[in-house]
Structure 1
């Protein structure tokens, strides 16, 4: 069972948490927009007991709108191809896409996020189905993606989330 939630709602990661001090693995992703310009940054931190905390701030997005936020399988963000170079969603277990799908979700599924009036997406998500350097579930070398529309959590293979508008390779 996949548990994904916003960290702000759970309060799971207090500064100086003993679990994180003992086993701190981190990665970053620099986002680029459809124009090829820098759009933001994400920091990913492996939790001591599994899963990864993702914190990001991405600008230049559609205002006052819910957008999809996913992990894609390939660590390439080529704006010239509208970020199609990032491939499909990261799905090592071959599950269906979406939280509401009968045989879902897969590891690349994350909840929709809201972009405010300033066009900046500020996100904190904890994904229990991934690791930074695991075997099958590892996301280092893959891509984080923001889509133009929200994910309906059902439609295969991508939730009807629309164009890819910001992409960052996880390094």
Structure 2
């Protein structure tokens, strides 16, 4: 659909310019230009994963997360329900294994660059899984929107690839200083990032 609009717009602009006498464009040149734009549009690859979050540690915290990669940027959009009102931490953990009742089967924070735990972007270092904190409202609902070029979806780069990891929502707040995980409390929701 987008390709059709771009192609139509290019043809219209070229024909208009030709009629005005500003640009001498032949039909062949217009077709060639359109073909190049169509090729560029087709080369933009979008990867997308949607995962469910399951309650852990006797909580009622569930939800869903969508990861989408386009042009080198990965966006994460999460909607979580069944939370206590207040601040909660959310991280990416090492393994997409949510089999244990307490979520600890996912291992520690995903930290492929061997950095200390910290707030995302901190000069003192941070894990690639240190997403941070978010707020849950009085109804127990929270939303997280995050975007980075430090992740990829299925690219095979062990320092960037989030596939095979897990999303963990914690009961408490990440203090960004306690090592190795920010003292965020129980793991109350878990979802494996699997294609």
Query: Normalization by structure 2: what TM-score?
Result: 0.70
| Alpha-carbon separation, structure 2, partners of 1:102 and 1:52 | 22
* Ranges in structure 2 where 5+ consecutive residues have no aligned partner: 1-39
For the Cα contact (< 8 Å) 1:60–1:120, is it kept in 2? yes
Return the offset for 1:154: 1.2
Return the offset for 1:58: 1.3
State yes or no: 1:161 paired with 2:181. no
Find the counterpart in structure 1 of residue 75 from structure 2: 53
| Alpha-carbon separation, structure 2, partners of 1:75 and 1:36 | 19
| Alpha-carbon separation, structure 2, partners of 1:67 and 1:51 | 25
Find the counterpart in structure 1 of residue 136 from structure 2: 115
Find the counterpart in structure 2 of residue 75 from structure 1: 96
Q: 1:104 aligns with which of 107, 117, 125?
A: 125
Q: What SS does structure 2 have at the residue aligned with 1:152?
A: coil
* Ranges in structure 1 where 5+ consecutive residues have no aligned partner: 1-17
Q: 2:146 aligns with which of 89, 107, 125?
A: 125
TM-superposition CA deviations, 1:77-114 (whole Å, max 9, x none): 1242x000010001111111112866311200112111
Find the counterpart in structure 1 of residue 25 from structure 2: none
Range moving further from structure 2, 108-117 or 27-36: 27-36
Bigger fraction of residues in helix: 2
| Alpha-carbon separation, structure 1, partners of 2:108 and 2:83 | 21
Find the counterpart in structure 2 of residue 140 from structure 1: 163
State yes or no: 1:22 paired with 2:44. yes
| Alpha-carbon separation, structure 2, partners of 1:36 and 1:61 | 8
TM-superposition CA deviations, 1:60-93 (whole Å, max 9, x none): 1111x1111100010011242x000010001111
| Alpha-carbon separation, structure 1, partners of 2:46 and 2:123 | 35
The structure-2 alpha-carbon separation of the partners of 1:115 and 1:37, relative to structure 1 and needing over 3 Å to count, comes to closer
Structure whose alpha-carbon radius of gyration is higher: 2
Find the counterpart in structure 2 of residue 7 from structure 1: none
Return the offset for 1:168: 0.7
Q: What SS does structure 2 have at the residue aligned with 1:107?
A: coil
| Alpha-carbon separation, structure 1, partners of 2:125 and 2:191 | 24
Q: What SS does structure 2 have at the residue aligned with 1:114?
A: strand
